[in-house]
Amino acid sequence: ALLFCIITAGGYAFQSAAPSSRVVISRASPLHETKTDLEDLAKKLNPLIGYYDPLGLGSSQFAGRTDEFTIGFLRHAEIKHGRVAMAAFVGYCVQSNYRFPWPMTLDGSQFPSLSLSPPEQWDVLPFAAKVQIILFVGYLEFYSEISSSNGQPGEMKHYCKGGIPGKYPSFDANPHPVPFNLYDPFNLHKNMSEEQKERRLLVEINNGRLAMFGILGFLCAQTTPGSVPLLNGMLGSYTGEVMAPFQGDLDIVLGGRSMVEAFGLS
């Protein structure tokens, strides 16, 4: 109840596509590359709102590229941001209620106390730990972009070149053996039908959209008291800067100023 009351508009987020509108799309062909495909997808994701693009991003032709290139970029970005938001939302809930019992560092330091909110827990992490986390995520991001632009036989096409938005490459071609892939590490869904894959992707996109509202709701409630009435009194206030991940770690470099002040962002 605490988590999903942030927005009532997200009520459609966990609804799957109606059986009558379910369309099986071949994975061998480009997926949702045109504006017409985007409009059809929008109706399946939320029949009430349908296609809504007030800024005209779907026809903006980023960097002088085609609409198909732009739509592939935007769809992949939304899926990726939705996945990050779902991880952040779940992580926020776990960090607020559970503390790992084992040491966090080699010197025996424990994980931050539950008396701290998740943003405060991040603030007190050692600088080296923050760097490791960001480098690991950066590697995953880098690896996801090295698929062949043209999609050679046996290779995955880039999502802006007719590939599947949101599909993460396997680690099979990695020169250093990796025991598990990021998606379906135990191969539990290798026999899933195309219809099931299509439906699960729709559910994932809707859940990701709701999670983006959810994690933003948490942060707004902590940094701007009263901004999310349904969370009043449920979350402690946070006086740090959620957009400054190294706040307090770079004081020597910044001369004691905040990152906002040092870079003229205020």
Burial grade of 243 (CB within 10 A; 0-12, 13-18, 19 or more): exposed
- The predicted structure's pLDDT at residue 120: 94
Q: Which whole-number Å values give the CA distances from 3 to 23, 84, 119, 212, 250, in the listed order?
A: 32, 17, 17, 12, 34
The tokens of 37 are what?
A: 């495909």
Lowest mean pLDDT among 35-49, 53-67, 114-128, 240-254: 240-254
What's the Cα-to-Cα distance from 264 to each of 113, 246, 253, rounded to whole Å? 33, 16, 15
* Range of lowest pLDDT (110-119, 182-191, 202-211): 182-191
Contact partners, residue 53, CB within 8 Å, separation at least 6: 59
Residue 260 is predicted with a pLDDT of 56
Q: Does the pLDDT of residue 249 top 70, yes or no?
A: yes
- In this predicted model, which residue has the larger pLDDT, 37 or 222? 222
pLDDT beyond 60 at 208: yes
CA distance 170 to 156: 10
Contacts of 155 (CB under 8 A, 6+ apart): 147, 148
pLDDT for 26:
40
Taking alpha carbons only, the member of 260, 199, 154 closest to residue 25 is: 199
Residue 179: its pLDDT value, please?
86
Does residue 150 carry a pLDDT above 90?
no
Taking residues 142-147, report their average pLDDT.
82
The tens digit of pLDDT for each residue in 46-90 reads: 999 999 989 888 888 887 888 888 888 999 999 999 999 999 999
Predicted pLDDT of residue 77:
93
**Per-residue pLDDT for 29 more than 80?**
no
In this prediction, residues 244-261 reach a mean pLDDT of 65
Q: Which of 5-9, 117-121, 249-253, 262-266 has the highest mean pLDDT?
A: 117-121
